[in-house]
Amino acid sequence: MMRISTEMFFRVANPRLVALITSGSISDPNAMAATWHAPISFDPPLYGVSVAPERATHSLIRESGSFGVNLLPYEMVDSVHTCGRISRRERGDKLELAGIRVFSGPELGVPLVEGAYTSLECELVREIELGDHTWFVGEVRSVLALSGDGKIDVSTVRPLLYLGSDLYVTVDPESVRKGRVRGTRQPS
């Protein structure tokens, strides 16, 4: 087994699903691209995101007590990349520059992204300092999705995945297949 560097670790940990994490208010919204995010509980429904303290998103989540998780299609790659590379502190108009429009979430009023195929409104319930990041845990208060059953149809929505080094990819709908448990007989 080869020992790898920290830099190499981040390369092999990809591809990962990209989300735009929204925070602030509808009158003064912010968005940050993130791949360090995950669902963490069904009951209650909890979702977590990792944010560095130097990011504007960090202080905005703490101040507002809420955040949004927005999953965007591959076609919005340049908008997402702009939000990931430009700081709100450098350019207050970064959402405008990125071509991102937001609307007010139905439960908490969290800014959510137009064009997202799934958006979550999360109420902050806990924060955990882990290394050089804070893991913000939010209780999911509303879910907006393109399809009524919440299942993403990858033949119509191409999820945006980050490969690292400013590279992005999406899924091939031809590769979708049902998994099988090895060593068991499957019903025909």
Q: Model pTM?
A: 0.91
33: left (phi over 0), alpha (psi -120 to 50) or beta: beta
Q: What is the pLDDT of residue 67?
A: 98
Which helix (H) or strand (E) segment holds residue 69: the answer is: strand 66-71
Q: Is 90 exceeded by the pLDDT of residue 39?
A: yes
Q: Is 80 exceeded by the pLDDT of residue 188?
A: no
Q: Is 173 helix (H, G, I), strand (E, B) or coil?
A: helix
**Cα–Cα dist 104/66, whole Å:** 12
**Cα–Cα dist 87/67, whole Å:** 17
Give the residue-averaged pLDDT of 109-128.
97
- Identify the residue whose tokens are 């959402």: 95
Model confidence at 187, pLDDT cuts 50, 70, 90, reads low
Q: What is the pLDDT of residue 183?
A: 84
Q: What is the pLDDT of residue 89?
A: 84
Selected residue with higher pLDDT from 46 and 148: 46
Query: Is CATH 2.30.110.10 the right assignment for the domain spanning 6-167?
Result: yes
Model confidence at 2, pLDDT cuts 50, 70, 90, reads confident
Q: Is 90 exceeded by the pLDDT of residue 23?
A: yes
Model confidence at 10, pLDDT cuts 50, 70, 90, reads confident
Tell me if 159 sits within 8 A of 133, measured CB to CB. Answer: no
| Per-residue pLDDT reduced to its tens digit, 136-184 | 999 999 999 977 676 788 888 999 999 988 999 999 888 888 888 998 8
Q: What is the pLDDT of residue 173?
A: 86
Q: Is 80 exceeded by the pLDDT of residue 116?
A: yes
| Per-residue pLDDT reduced to its tens digit, 56-106 | 999 999 999 999 999 999 999 999 999 999 998 888 789 999 999 999 999
Tell me if 62 sits within 8 A of 126, measured CB to CB. Answer: no
